[in-house]
Amino acid sequence: MMSAHIAVRDLTMAYGSLLIQQDLNFDINRGDIFVIMGGSGCGKSTLLKHMLGLLDPAKGDILYSGESFVAASPDQREAMRRRWGITYQSGGLFSAMTLAQNTGLPLQLYTKYNRSDIDDIVAYKLALVGLAGYQDYYPSEISGGMRKRAALARAIALDPEILFFDEPSAGLDPISSRLLDELIVQLQESIGATVVMVTHELPSIFEIATNSVYLDARSKTMIAYGDPKTLRDHSDQAVVRQFLARASGAGQGKQL
């Protein structure tokens, strides 16, 4: 057996003396579409920030392909980060740059490709997210759903092994949200990446997640791990079954 793509080991997270979650242990396998779930304020974004190395654990570690992030040197961490694509809730596109410039930025910063190679790769990535022909548009000239897809094009510019999403469909209408879900699955299949996402959206959770973890705010630890449909029907934790069985539909997952 190959080791897990991402292994969370004995992870305890805190802000100073404020404990958020403790003793998290779970694996994310290569090719998973993995969802971090839980009620408001339980620590989902905090966990994502730990995975991205933006926060240091109070205790424990996160291993990438068996390699410790905690023990890694700054150079090793940078090398690990290069293998990740990240899209933020707000999209994070630069408004003064066209979609082509936004998508090409990581290539300009981190590769030695020349201008025409970059143009080719950018055109290809924009086509992958359904934005062929929009190279010269500015973020303000396209819809919210298109901006999310453009941010995704930028996140996959360097062919990441892992794609991280924080609330990918926040602010989108249900149809755009579905389209984004479909795109995430297509990309996962075409580039073979492992996907890790924080989301409240039940349709996304049931339709695309292959595995998940549920963080409980009260006990401050994970109380469920597995395929969301199985957890909905068979979790021994009532709170998890209720979370997954709440009425789904438009408007779910509104941000506070």
Ligand X SMILES: Nc1ncnc2c1ncn2[C@@H]1O[C@H](COP(=O)(O)OP(=O)(O)OP(=O)(O)O)[C@@H](O)[C@H]1O
Provide the mask over 113-142, with x wherever binding to ligand X is found by CB under 6 A and - wherever it is not. ------------------------------
Helix, strand, or coil (residue 170):
coil
| Smallest gap from residue 224 Cβ to ligand X (A) | 15
Shortest spacing between CB 64 and ligand X, in angstroms: 21
| The only residue of 4, 6, 20, 197 in contact with ligand X, by rule CB under 6 A | 20
- Cβ proximity to ligand X: between 31 and 253 the closer is 253
Burial status of residue 151 (CB atoms within 10 A of its CB: 0-12, 13-18, 19 or more) = buried
Closest CA to 22 of 208, 216, 197: 216
Interface with ligand X (CB under 6 A), residue from 9, 44, 50, 148: 44
1 part of the interface to ligand X, by CB under 6 A: no
Q: Does 168 bind ligand X (CB under 6 A)?
A: no
From 53, 79, 89, select the one nearest 169 (Cα to Cα): 89
Q: What SS3 state is found at 236?
A: coil
Closest CA to 91 of 162, 167, 157, 198: 167
Closest among 45, 77, 79 to 61, alpha carbons compared: 77
- Among the candidate windows 43-51, 66-74, 130-138, 187-195, which touches ligand X by CB under 6 A? 43-51
Minimal distance, residue 241 CB to ligand X, in Å? 19
Task: Answer yes or no whether residue 50 interacts with ligand X by CB under 6 A.
Answer: no
